[in-house]
């Protein structure tokens, strides 16, 4: 048997990358049902047959599974945020980062459309998220700026690409690897948002790694989480929280709060703290609803 990476499932067939070759496989019946159902990103064992076909025999142990998109064995999240057209939604950005950290998947941020934004705005956003502890990139997919560093970051990794419609995710994938011709969408002039162009989950071989593009979205509900634990998902807040007077401090109205002192000292970005308070309010409402 050979080992490979499941990159696409379509029409009852499973397409598995093994080295430089893609095999078209049929799966054993038990692998199409229940807990053993196949997921893009699975490492699998298969029996090769003639002319690039074969039988998929078993699934190797998964390191993790994401539900949106449904993909296994993810190494990292690549969050694409537009610098303009549409304007960056930093609360959505922070929401995705919280969810990524909850799934224990490292996240990095690509601020795209560098050619359309002012240098001052670009530097402010890069500084905000570097201060928060994230690896950040500034790119112009259309002009090729900043892509060399991004290629290096995704090489040898399975990356999930996320972000709102219109951020330029598919355009970045095309720019990273000229062999691909992902469908790209124009920005809707009427609603100022991008049209969804990605329709199914597929791992694309890009720049020495694999990327799955996800449908754009404008809302993402936080998972069930204790409000006191929320600061653990904001790295720059977590680093200061140990200095608070109270162990159960939620960094809102409590006295002697080291996080609020850090905010006054510029150690935490104002927009990041505002996102934290918004998420905290949501979680507290959920706690009251389900208690």
Instruction: Give the CATH number, domain containing residue 284.
Output: 1.10.40.50
| 135 and 194 housed in the same domain | yes
Rounded to the nearest 5 degrees, what angle is found at the Cα of 269, between the Cα atoms of 131 and 255? 115
Joined tokens for residue 277: 């308070």
| 79 and 57 housed in the same domain | no
Strand 158-162, strand 204-206: pairing: unpaired
Domain boundary among 213, 237, 259: 213
Number of separate domains in the chain: 3
Residue 265 predicted with pLDDT over 50: yes
User: What CA–CA distance (Å, rounded) separates 148 from 12?
Assistant: 37
> Which CATH number is 185's domain given?
3.40.50.300
For residue 196, the 8-state DSSP code is P
| 26 and 54 housed in the same domain | yes
Residue 214 predicted with pLDDT over 90: no
Residue 141 predicted with pLDDT over 80: yes
Residues of the chain above pLDDT 90, percent:
66
The answer to whether position 221 is within a domain reads no
| 126 and 234 housed in the same domain | no
Per-residue pLDDT reduced to its tens digit, 120-133: 999 999 999 999 99
| 179 and 111 housed in the same domain | yes
What pLDDT was estimated at residue 287? Answer: 76
Per-residue pLDDT reduced to its tens digit, 37-94: 899 999 999 999 988 999 999 999 999 888 777 899 999 999 999 999 999 999 999 9
> Which CATH number is 37's domain given?
2.40.50.140
What pLDDT was estimated at residue 34? Answer: 58
Average per-residue pLDDT in the chain?
87
Strand 2-10, strand 43-48: pairing: antiparallel
User: What CA–CA distance (Å, rounded) separates 144 from 196?
Assistant: 23
| Model confidence, pTM | 0.85
Domain housing 161: 66-213
Residue 121's closest CA among 152, 98, 145, 88?
A: 88
What pLDDT was estimated at residue 18? Answer: 95
What pLDDT was estimated at residue 193? Answer: 41
7 with 210: CB under 8 angstroms? yes
| 165 and 275 housed in the same domain | no
């Amino acid at each position: 048997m050979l080992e490979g990476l499941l990159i696409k499932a379509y029409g009852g067939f499973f397409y598995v990358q093994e080295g430089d070759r893609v095999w078209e496989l049929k799966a054993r019946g038990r692998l199409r049902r229940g807990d053993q159902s196949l997921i893009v990103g699975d490492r699998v064992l298969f029996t090769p047959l003639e002319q690039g076909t074969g039988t998929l025999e078993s699934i190797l142990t998964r390191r993790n599974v994401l539900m949106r998109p449904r993909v296994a064995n993810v190494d990292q999240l690549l969050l694409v945020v537009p610098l303009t057209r549409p304007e960056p939604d930093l609360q959505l950005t922070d929401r995705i980062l919280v969810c990524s950290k909850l799934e224990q998947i490292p996240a990095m941020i690509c601020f795209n459309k560098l050619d359309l934004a002012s240098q001052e705005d670009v530097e402010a956003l890069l500084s905000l998220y570097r201060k928060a502890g994230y690896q950040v990139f500034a790119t112009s997919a259309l002009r090729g700026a900043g892509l060399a560093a991004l290629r290096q970051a995704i090489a040898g990794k399975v990356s999930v690409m996320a972000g709102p419609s219109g951020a330029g995710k598919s355009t970045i994938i095309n720019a990273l690897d000229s062999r691909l011709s992902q469908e790209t969408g124009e920005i809707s002039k009427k609603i100022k948002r991008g049209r969804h162009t990605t329709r199914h989950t597929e791992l694309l071989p890009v720049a020495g790694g694999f990327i799955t593009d996800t449908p754009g979205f404008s809302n993402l509900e936080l998972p069930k989480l204790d409000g006191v634990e929320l600061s653990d998902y904001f790295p720059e807040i977590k680093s200061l929280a140990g200095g608070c007077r109270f162990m159960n401090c939620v960094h809102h109205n409590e006295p002697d709060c080291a996080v609020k002192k850090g905010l006054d000292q510029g150690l935490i970005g104002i927009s990041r703290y505002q996102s934290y308070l918004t998420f905290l309010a949501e979680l507290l409402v959920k706690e009251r609803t389900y208690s």
